[in-house]
């Protein structure tokens, strides 16, 4: 990250990896990107739900102000802004 600069990692949205499992969406990435929204593809069964430590990671940082899950929020789409 230092080789390209922190500004290159900013984003309005962050796609949470691996259905929100603890092994994905690293803390350093959330802190670097500082997204306004985090989006997770989730399902009813436990293997495809956001894990507590991931929710903590997303909520305790200067990053996401909102976390969206497909299981809770339904289909999620976004459009680029100019």
The 3-state DSSP class for residue 42 equals coil
> Which residue do the tokens 């739900």 mark?
49
6 vs 21, which has greater pLDDT? 21
- Which residues 6+ apart lie within 8 Å of 12 measured at CB? 35, 36, 37, 81
In a domain, 44, yes or no: yes
Q: What is the pLDDT of residue 53?
A: 87
pLDDT in tens, 61-70: 655 568 899 9
Q: Is residue 80 part of a domain?
A: no
| CB contact at 8 A, 20 and 42 | yes
Q: What's the predicted TM-score (pTM) here?
A: 0.76
Does residue 78 lie in a domain region? no
CA distance linking residue 64 with residue 35, whole number of Å: 5
Two tokens at 6?
């922190």
Domain that holds residue 50: 6-73
């Amino acid at each position: 990250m230092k080789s390209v600069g922190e500004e290159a990692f900013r984003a309005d949205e962050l796609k949470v990896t691996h259905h929100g499992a603890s092994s994905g969406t690293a803390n350093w990435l959330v802190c670097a990107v500082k997204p306004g929204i985090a989006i997770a593809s989730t399902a009813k069964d436990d293997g495809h739900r956001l894990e507590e430590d991931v929710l903590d990671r997303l909520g305790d940082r200067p990053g996401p102000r909102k976390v969206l899950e497909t299981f809770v929020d339904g289909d999620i789409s976004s459009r680029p802004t100019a």
